[in-house]
Amino acid sequence: MNAPRRVLIAGCGDLGSRIGQNLPGAEVYGLRRNVAALPAAIHPVAADLRTGAGFDALPRQVDALVYCATPDARHEAAYRATYVDGLARLIDALPDPAATLRIVFVSSTAVYGQDEGEWVDEASPTEPTGFNGRVLLEAEAAAGSRFPSTALRLSGIYGPGRLWLLRRVRTGEAIGAGCHWTNRIHLADAAALAVTLLGHESPPPVVIGVDNAPTCESTVLDGLADRLGLPRLPRHGDPAAVSGKRLRNDLAQSLGWRPRYASWEDGYSDVLTSSPLPPGAP
């Protein structure tokens, strides 16, 4: 193991804060525009990745950079500004980084374009169909061209406060009758995997972060409806249709990581206990 001594977490929101609080012995800095919500254990760096404002407060001799920023909007210009331009701007501004600096770039499984139920791992082709996957691939390559880097490709993150699937059940809107394969990872497990990578002597260049149980979307939504005491969503279309992909986490587990929440059932039991959907919420 090779635990970092000084870590900068860029885009230090929910995920970054959980990572930073699980690095005992490290000096952790959290970069975000509004630092008021940062945990007390994380040194605040009030800065803007889009403009470079506040970069004069960046720490020196950083030996690990976790880049987990998120764009302000879901369009290509916003993604490029955050993932490509923001990353380059930050790396260029790092004052006297350690010679051993490594990057964990938090990416997405959107870089995989498979959509017929295929099994996918780190060796699978990356042929994204959306701008988000294309921009993220570009940013992954850019990070790796500057310093040793691991692209942590996370599937759909869920957890306390991330209630969009529960809200979807509440809408009553029809869903496809076939199997659309979906993949997810609990926020706590995503953070734990990033911590594992930071402590690894020689982490792989790409790691998929996902739980143990790819599941048809309809199965998840039916299960949540049952737990909420709501009607299951109506169906439309061909019940034999198959789409989506099934992601493997074998490589992540080979590094010593194990998901605390191995399936959506485990994770949503925790979510419904810790942050239930408020009565009357859409």
What is the pLDDT, as a whole number, of residue 144?
A: 97
CA distance 9 to 67: 6
Name the token pair of 93. 């501004």
Give, in order, the Cα–Cα distances in Å from 115 to each of 104, 165, 245. 27, 21, 6
CATH number for the domain harbouring residue 269:
3.40.50.720
Give, in order, the Cα–Cα distances in Å from 125 to each of 55, 113, 144. 37, 8, 18
Domain presence at residue 269: yes
Domain presence at residue 282: no
The mean pLDDT value of the chain amounts to 95
Q: Is the pLDDT of residue 279 over 90?
A: no
CA distance 85 to 70: 13
What is the rounded average pLDDT of the residues 171-191?
97
Q: Is the pLDDT of residue 72 over 80?
A: yes
The position carrying tokens 């009607």 is: 231
Contact 22, 192 (CB under 8 A): yes
- Between these two residues, 270 and 253, which has the higher pLDDT value? 253
Domain presence at residue 279: no
Q: Is the pLDDT of residue 233 over 70?
A: yes
CA distance 234 to 222: 10
Domain that holds residue 250: 6-274
Domain presence at residue 64: yes
The model's pLDDT over 1-39, given as tens digits with 9 standing for 90+, comes to 577 899 999 999 999 999 999 999 999 999 999 999 999
Q: Which residues is 151 bridged to in the sheet?
A: 105, 206
The model's pLDDT over 110-154, given as tens digits with 9 standing for 90+, comes to 999 999 999 999 999 999 999 999 999 999 999 999 999 999 999
pTM comes to: 0.95
Residue 162: band (very low, low, confident or very high) from pLDDT cuts 50, 70, 90: confident
Q: Which residues is 120 bridged to in the sheet?
A: 247
Number of domains in the chain: 1
